[in-house]
Structure 1
């Protein structure tokens, strides 16, 4: 474990699948000048000519619930992208190292239905993909589900492979899928926050503990270069202009309130606070929340 984040009576535990996925800036941000000058030395964020992305999920441990936010790519699944195809990542062993079993998870939240956020919702068993967390309600918004089951969503999946078929539909067929409003409260400590643009029903997840709050921003941001230039959306955003407005609105709120955030794909240290700087924002690690020992604390 690389550590966890202490909100008082709530803990947020990153469970990393792939710590450093290198991506050409032109793939994600076409037309953008690329890695800013001097960033090659910033080991957590970039390497020469490449951006660093992390694939991770987040376990939210409250006094009453165990909530998994997003579910990475998943192991053993056929995918068109070579880095995702039939992974053998060890993610499940890292989940088990938290001391929890699959049956302890009460809720799985999908911030949105992209291939790298849904995979561990199912595991291969007896010749079928079956729900990995059989006692959990699986939460996403109705606009998100409807879009990915539409002709437009099906066309968008051609670049990845049909991950709904092996990661979402088995959950729905088991009666575990719960379509919620984009601002649904999932309990006293966790609620969804509407964040459309990247996808139609995209959400963030606000986690509130007794001494701090933390916003799991999902894919509102993909990489720290979007802090410097919040108007830059990815080529994978369904509505790039709306995505940019959502990103700036979210960053303004974070700066105004001092709330810490963890984007889904920031390399560690992934939790931090933002402040305004010119037309963009700066990022400072939330060292006051970070606990470096393994979860659960001994």
Structure 2
């Protein structure tokens, strides 16, 4: 099942969060259409959503329809300008109509936040799905070239090796042709071994293994001045999964592993001060995990709020 076309988000000031001395910028791409929720998280029915008042109005509407978005996070650490995930991209041929042939102002937003493509030093890919690698490349002279020509692109070795041996359907092959292979061909993709304890790739920046959605999926931990934040990628798609970590995505490669990862991650973060930044969470996008009965909820932290 696919979802219909979506529109770019309205232009506004870049939302930011302070994590110690690090400022994390949310770079908006698109608001995903209402049909995305039922397709992506089929177990999150309106009845399920209605049981949790805290999801409304930010994360779901009155009818129980989930709100989702596509964005990246940009930050500077250790003198490096870093971009975490690159969204859907413009002008890409995609089977999902919501992602097909987009024309958004993502790059001007990124530039306005201080991360012009030529200035980006490090691109971290939580995993290799179409809505996380699209701006890896841009159209030029009838082909695709790296959008961030001076950057080191980083992905988990497990992730890349899994897809190298996967019997891909044509839409996924197309995504690799236009958004992954050009980066590899330019010699810009670095594969990182990510052990259970994680892998530091820059001062204050660590890849955390969060497998299940894909085998080599990673979350991204930011540490500065005694404060910590975690960018989810797709180990969590939406705060409704806090209410029941068993609620899985239709595109999880290993649903049982994904459930195990969600449970462990939420348990670890519960009632602590780590700021969780959701790659598909709509505004307010960020928050802290709090225990709620036998499960959890997200206590929102609006943009502009420093981490303690």
* TM-score normalized by the length of structure 2: 0.87
Choose which of 83, 108, 111 in structure 1 pairs with 2:126.
111
CA distance in 2, matches of 1:236, 1:165: 20
Report if aligned partners of 1:39, 1:45 keep a CA contact under 8 Å in 2.
Answer: no
CA distance in 2, matches of 1:199, 1:228: 22
Query: Does the alignment pair 1:207 with 2:208?
Result: no
Report if aligned partners of 1:108, 1:139 keep a CA contact under 8 Å in 2.
Answer: yes
Query: Does the alignment pair 1:30 with 2:33?
Result: no
Q: Which residue of 2 aligns with 1:290?
A: 305
CA distance in 2, matches of 1:125, 1:89: 17
**DSSP-derived class of the 1:151 partner:** coil
Shift of 1:103: 1.8
Query: Does the alignment pair 1:194 with 2:209?
Result: yes
How many residue pairs are counted as aligned between the two chains? 288
Deviations along 1:201-243, whole A, 9 cap, x unmatched?
A: 0000000122421100111111111010111111100011110
Shift of 1:25: 4.0
Structure 1 unmatched ranges of 5 or more: 292-298
Q: Which residue of 1 aligns with 2:6?
A: none
CA distance in 1, matches of 2:282, 2:134: 20
CA distance in 2, matches of 1:237, 1:82: 20
Choose which of 146, 162, 181 in structure 2 pairs with 1:169.
181
Q: Which residue of 1 aligns with 2:28?
A: 16
Choose which of 73, 78, 93 in structure 1 pairs with 2:108.
93
**DSSP-derived class of the 2:270 partner:** helix
CA distance in 1, matches of 2:40, 2:113: 33
Instruction: Tell me: CA distance 1:69–1:240, structure 2 relative to 1, closer, same or farther (3 Å).
Output: same
Instruction: Tell me: CA distance 1:211–1:289, structure 2 relative to 1, closer, same or farther (3 Å).
Output: farther
Shift of 1:288: 8.6
Q: Which residue of 2 aligns with 1:295?
A: none
* Aligned structure 1 segments of 4 or more residues deviating by more than 3 angstroms: 30-35, 38-41
Report if aligned partners of 2:74, 2:115 keep a CA contact under 8 Å in 1.
Answer: no
Report if aligned partners of 1:108, 1:137 keep a CA contact under 8 Å in 2.
Answer: yes
Choose which of 92, 95, 107 in structure 2 pairs with 1:80.
95
Instruction: Tell me: CA distance 1:7–1:24, structure 2 relative to 1, closer, same or farther (3 Å).
Output: closer
CA distance in 1, matches of 2:44, 2:277: 24
Q: Which residue of 1 aligns with 2:150?
A: 135
* TM-score normalized by the length of structure 1: 0.90
**DSSP-derived class of the 1:123 partner:** strand
Choose which of 121, 141, 157 in structure 2 pairs with 1:126.
141
Q: Which residue of 1 aligns with 2:19?
A: 7
Report if aligned partners of 1:23, 1:52 keep a CA contact under 8 Å in 2.
Answer: no
- State the Cα RMSD in Å: 2.0
Report if aligned partners of 1:106, 1:136 keep a CA contact under 8 Å in 2.
Answer: yes
